[in-house]
Amino acid sequence: MTELLFRADAYLREADGVVVGHTAEGGILLDRTVFYPTGGGQPGDSGWIVWGGASMPIATAVKAEGGQVALVMAEPMALPALGTVVRQRLDWERRYRHMRVHTALHLLSVVIPLPVTGGQIGAERGRLDFDMPEPPANIAAIEEKLNTLIALDLTVSEEWITDEELAANPGLVKTMLVQPPVGQGLVRLVRIGTAGHQVDLQPCGGTHVARTAEIGHVNLGKIEKKSRQNRRVSIILDR
């Protein structure tokens, strides 16, 4: 399995890794990586790897077999050989914006306490789809409440529980169609707030900011009807 350095430190921008394999599609497998692979509505990270006199742009990262992460090059190049030590460098500005949007979406699920049917994270905006038969009466109030939570500068932390503990607490799962990965013994929870002032706690494998104030002010986009019961709510970063 690839060691997921972003799991221990979402703010880590660079790290060395050793090439341990190549995929049939030309992906690069490292023993450890700072690149988040596409999943959970969050896009894979982009950036560069460098070794010797070579520099390779990385378009994205994806999950590969056996719990590995494959780096996908942005343009055809000769792959680094097995055993090569490469320096990984994230497109940090893009990743950080993903972190801000992702944490903001967790807070959106607090402000709109309805089952979530889908979601997507981008560098400028994100969205959640809700099981929402009727549109909200006051969109401005939702935006104000969301920004009030952000401005509280709440801490964002994680903890791990067993598969059995998750099964005994089904209310932790807000998504209707996508269930958190189980079968590995432990499930990661992301908490917003502290035990004495907890705002949100839900399973999540993505990257987040350390404090909600880092998100900055957000604007609510138009609420779109996607089906008879589903409505899409978008948020847009102010800067």
Give the per-residue pLDDT at 38.
97
Looking at the structure, do residues 130 and 105 belong to the same domain, yes or no?
A: yes
Give me the chain's average pLDDT, please.
94
CATH of the domain at 11: 2.40.30.130
Look-up of token digits 């009807």: 225
Give the per-residue pLDDT at 174.
83
Dump the DSSP string for 39-85: BTTBPPP-EEEEETTEEEEEEEEEEEGGGEEEEEESS--PPPPTT-E
Distance (Å, whole) CA 61 – CA 110: 30
Looking at the structure, do residues 51 and 132 belong to the same domain, yes or no?
A: no
Instruction: Give the number of other Cβ atoms within 10 Å of residue 77's Cβ.
Output: 12
pLDDT band at 156 (very low <50, low <70, confident <90, very high): very high
Looking at the structure, do residues 62 and 130 belong to the same domain, yes or no?
A: no
pLDDT of 25 > 70? The answer is yes
pLDDT of 154 > 90? The answer is yes
Looking at the structure, do residues 99 and 192 belong to the same domain, yes or no?
A: yes
pLDDT of 83 > 90? The answer is yes
Give the per-residue pLDDT at 171.
86
The tokens for 140 are 């401005």
Looking at the structure, do residues 118 and 150 belong to the same domain, yes or no?
A: yes
pLDDT band at 111 (very low <50, low <70, confident <90, very high): very high
pLDDT of 137 > 90? The answer is no
Give the per-residue pLDDT at 186.
87
Per-residue exposure over 119-132, b if at least 16 CB sit within 10 Å of its own CB, e if not: bbbbbebbbbbbeb
pLDDT band at 30 (very low <50, low <70, confident <90, very high): very high
pLDDT band at 183 (very low <50, low <70, confident <90, very high): low
Q: Whole-angstrom distance between the N-terminal and C-terminal Cα of the chain? A: 37
- Cα 192 to Cα 181, 201, 214, distances in angstroms: 21, 6, 13
Looking at the structure, do residues 72 and 170 belong to the same domain, yes or no?
A: no
Last residue of a domain, one of 26, 61, 90: 90
Looking at the structure, do residues 192 and 139 belong to the same domain, yes or no?
A: yes
Looking at the structure, do residues 189 and 231 belong to the same domain, yes or no?
A: yes
pLDDT band at 179 (very low <50, low <70, confident <90, very high): low
The pLDDT > 90 percentage for the chain reads: 82
Last residue of a domain, one of 74, 90, 106: 90
Q: Which residues contact 165 (CB under 8 A, 6 or more apart)?
A: 187
Last residue of a domain, one of 73, 90, 107: 90
CA torsion sign for 128, 132, 135, 139 is negative
10: containing domain: 3-90
Looking at the structure, do residues 62 and 114 belong to the same domain, yes or no?
A: no
Nearest to 87 by CA among 32, 26, 43: 32
Looking at the structure, do residues 172 and 63 belong to the same domain, yes or no?
A: no
Looking at the structure, do residues 158 and 76 belong to the same domain, yes or no?
A: no
Q: How many domains does the chain have?
A: 2
Nearest to 160 by CA among 138, 134, 127, 182: 182
CATH of the domain at 171: 3.30.980.10
Looking at the structure, do residues 101 and 57 belong to the same domain, yes or no?
A: no
